[in-house]
Structure 1
């Protein structure tokens, strides 16, 4: 389906170089990010009350390293599609894999200069065949570049970023069923996709319409353009979960911030301005790739968490981690009161998990 080697080669070739730093500056940045990632875990764990796995140092990478890591993750996520692609005509598969390989590489090159960090949920098995729990990854050149552009305190900014990403590690190691739930939803999304040639042509027309809409300033994006009606319900569930975890990360990084990141208010204000900026072309690409949708998730998810914590306390909010049934729906993300009526105002729930 995708020529992964070509995707890596394309991404590494197209990605822009990072900021100019001396060897000593690079060494210090990597060392500090590793240390701050462990420090952030203590703050996040105390604040959220989630009993997560013991902390591990973050994996610090450069831009090409981020591209290679994400290709490995994509292989794991897209594995359910392998049999479907096997039924495609050989010439279509051969040509299509190279085209998609170049496309994936170009997308990764664009994102590789912007992503500050991530918690990688889906990793290839280790030599014994065991699937790793996850990996906290920080992209050092992007963090250094951003703190320079924003003219903020480097130590404060680095810890601020670590607080967000460490929140994800705490979420997925402290709530054991959450990773499996997401993986099951993504597998369902992929296995119900239509892979016949006629449907693919229809999807290409939808993609063309999405591109035109994005250039007109609309909200068209490639993710929505390629989904089937059956996939929409699954994608709504995935979107709700990702909005929750991203919003929770944003809420925690700002709530913990004042006590450990003195300049957090300045950092947040400048960072929000940066998110909204960029050239016209940059804005169109972000819209097409769903990056703007992700920014919207941060805001909506953070608002949901803020409302619930203010009205029900952290213990009340942590009921969200009890089971898949207590996760908010996409509609409830926009209406926290509805989630609280459904989840907190009933005695039908199981006792809180140890993680909450």
Structure 2
């Protein structure tokens, strides 16, 4: 049994983050109790149905009984992601605390400020996310499907709700299968997070970060995300590796939902056309926020990852492509995404 983690200085007020994020997220579309119950039941059934469809198409076999499937509302998504952020940021907080443990009123004020910042971020994202695999939940992760957002988008796009719900489930269940059928993937993600934390120099973190963001703006690189602006060259190397991995996971899931979709979802072509247009953002402010928060890069992950997966599968077939899951060394780099033939030569030669 793993020993409980030692308590850390409360550098982020997670309670405030959850409360603020939940309030900012809102409740979502107005639905009757019967409509809500139907959507929840259909999403659960769609996720379970998708497991076999994903297995048949990809050859990935996830053990039964791992990584539960949860249908949540917006506050539920905020709570789950606050818990995930707490796990993800723990290595960095441990390093900062070991270097110069904060204390007193400064610690309390700082925790409130960071809690408010995290809450604002979660509140914004809680109205956008349709589903998500949470790898930080013990012991194997969990799948979250955000029912009010799915209902909102299916109404906004004016698509068949039953088809749209299964289409979303295919994408998100693919992520659950990826992490549970490939058990080293979860620990590899954690190791990359620790690698970023190892590069943090607590004493100069804020000062250096401010200097880097100023230089980025002056150099005309302010089209990047806040994360990239604050990152050191060492951290950017890790971010590039993570980009390759996440692009693979997102692109692989997009390929599954689009290639399996026509066999079980009659209106999949119409859904894809409308949804792709929606991914571009709905207004100027929305697009700016997406860019600053790194969501523009997320859109590129879908596109570049799907291109990589399709290119390799078309060339060597799904069985050979599945060598990508053999170990971290076989994951595509950021450069491989635009050079699938290079990956084939490196990994399959």
User: 154-163 or 53-62, which moves further after superposition?
Assistant: 53-62
Q: Which residue is equivalent to 2:127?
A: 113
2 CA distance for matches of 1:207 and 1:27? Answer: 47
**Aligned residue among 202, 208, 212 for 2:208:** 202
Where in structure 2 are the equivalents of 1:64-75 lying within 5 Å?
Answer: 64-75=75-86
**1:92-136 deviation line (CA, Å, top 9, x unaligned):** 43322211110100000000000000111002xxxxxxx310111
1:24 has 2:31 as partner: no
The alpha-carbon deviation at position 88 of structure 1 amounts to 4.4
**Aligned residue among 45, 48, 53 for 1:43:** 53
2 CA distance for matches of 1:230 and 1:218? Answer: 19
Query: Is the CA contact 2:133–2:142 (under 8 Å) kept in the aligned structure 1?
Result: yes
The alpha-carbon deviation at position 80 of structure 1 amounts to 0.9
Q: Sort the Cα spacing of 1:208 and 1:162 in 2 relative to 1 into closer, same or farther, 3 A.
A: farther
Query: Is the CA contact 2:261–2:268 (under 8 Å) kept in the aligned structure 1?
Result: yes
**1:219-248 deviation line (CA, Å, top 9, x unaligned):** 221110121121111111111101100110
The alpha-carbon deviation at position 260 of structure 1 amounts to 0.7
Where in structure 2 are the equivalents of 1:150-229 lying within 5 Å?
Answer: 150-196=157-203, 198-207=204-213, 219-229=223-233
Query: Is the CA contact 2:249–2:305 (under 8 Å) kept in the aligned structure 1?
Result: yes
Where in structure 2 are the equivalents of 1:61-100 lying within 5 Å?
Answer: 61-86=72-97, 87-90=100-103, 91-100=105-114
1 CA distance for matches of 2:288 and 2:94? Answer: 34
What RMSD in Å do the two structures reach over aligned CA positions? 1.7
The alpha-carbon deviation at position 320 of structure 1 amounts to 0.5
1 CA distance for matches of 2:96 and 2:222? Answer: 32
1:34 has 2:40 as partner: no
**Aligned residue among 259, 266, 270 for 1:266:** 270
1:334 has 2:338 as partner: yes
**1:3-39 deviation line (CA, Å, top 9, x unaligned):** 1111111111211330010011001100110011000
**1:43-86 deviation line (CA, Å, top 9, x unaligned):** 00100001212267620000011000000111111111232232
Structure 2's unaligned 5+ residue stretches are 1-10
**Aligned residue among 107, 127, 147 for 1:140:** 147
Query: Is the CA contact 1:332–1:338 (under 8 Å) kept in the aligned structure 2?
Result: yes
Query: Is the CA contact 1:41–1:55 (under 8 Å) kept in the aligned structure 2?
Result: no
| Alignment TM-score, normalising by the size of structure 1 | 0.90
User: 258-267 or 46-55, which moves further after superposition?
Assistant: 46-55
User: SS of the residue aligned with 2:279?
Assistant: helix
1 CA distance for matches of 2:264 and 2:35? Answer: 23
Query: Is the CA contact 1:38–1:55 (under 8 Å) kept in the aligned structure 2?
Result: no
Where in structure 2 are the equivalents of 1:267-282 lying within 5 Å?
Answer: 267-282=271-286
